[in-house]
Structure 1
């Protein structure tokens, strides 16, 4: 099996050398339903076995971002470790959260997660770099099945302030860190059941607009299922909303192969007070087509009362 993580040498990042984390778990039907309800993923294959069977799945299908249930608390453990410089800087001010200024998420899905899957979750700090008053921290993750195959892999890069700002350069440092990732091979043996005729699509086509209401109770349920505090914006909840929107249009949760988002928690992020309901608008557009692979790149715009909740969000989708 290909090595999923390459441990750093102590000279590259002594403070993170010994912070790998792993955890084993089982995908459970009720957790799938709870997660789908929280992120407003309405596809029937997330709720009913008969709907999943009609698409060729052996069991209930988890939403595309369900990996957060397994990986969320491990990410939080790493970011809140006293050995993390971003956290250490924040701890000098009582009741101050780690000062994450920008986050980039890439998630590759070889196949959807299904009820009954037994998975090992692995999280590892790949690199840490410093630029002026900022740290750029890259975390890699994987969900591995019982046969040792990676079914989901992810990379999260965060830009954090580690001391009082005396100059610029943080954004440039973050941009410099971006690099192309190799997509995870598709291992879903089913015939895709997408509801959209790929041959009729064209670059520039607009997807239907979807209006959606989200409540404080939805965020509380998401926090309960994933272990992530609802007041700690990371962009993952919003990604879940976006993939639900795309799954409704595509017709098959297994059509989503790669997600890429960028968020700035101080600028983007959904904020809903207890007892409050907010209305969201989701729009999508086709930005690229690969006729040979029968794949499309879709960008998603998610707004709350006119305010953008993503800096950038794109999904690669596969079609039958």
Structure 2
């Protein structure tokens, strides 16, 4: 094991700070899954603490773990960044990983997933197979805005005039609002609709299913094929937890990240974009071949999937 100056005889130790409970499916559970992955795959000693939105408690938790000799501490959310920077001044040999962050200062390292990349591919498919697209978001937060920017960039790379409507329901729980928004887009001619609203997302797929077989979509994050079996062309999933494991594996082997980490199509263990072959709808082979080529270009850094 190579852990640089943070090495200790007892092996790798990792701590996790989450802004809430790991008992419920969602963001906090993903952080917990990352921690368990490090424990199971890398043989680490692990621990976690559930916190409320209180910056003072963030700093204390970081201090507690760092002072106990933990080599890597994951603050699972951008809100942990300032506290990590503060504590890192006293513990420069400890790695502080910060989810949803672009930071890279010493061993405070931000981790992010570029959702614009798979959405760019969806946009290309939409412009090649459809006449108009609709995007239903939860709230206007950077990850969703980035995803939709990628979709629009992909579609407009095929047809600069391809029409795309976009709406936000203002929350992540109202399935009825997501459904109504999608139905409205379909009524206005959208034949390719992608909902992206966390727990409310299923409402969008319900609307797509009720539209019959003429509206196309992709499953995102989870497989919604059972909800809309006649409409879904493929699946995008991101295993952020495994991405964290790979970063910690590099640290364990003495390969510290030289910049903030952005997971994308180049990271096959983290991001998968697949087409469906078992249903009544499918993407034609010529479009699949083109998507494969575009995906390789994105992974190589030769195609920009959205504008800052």
Do both proteins adopt the same fold according to a TM-score greater than 0.5, normalized to the shorter chain?
Answer: no
TM-score (norm 2): 0.23
Q: Report the structure number with the largest CA radius of gyration.
A: 2
Higher helix share: 2
Larger RCO (CA within 8 A; separation ≥ 6): 1
TM-score (norm 1): 0.22
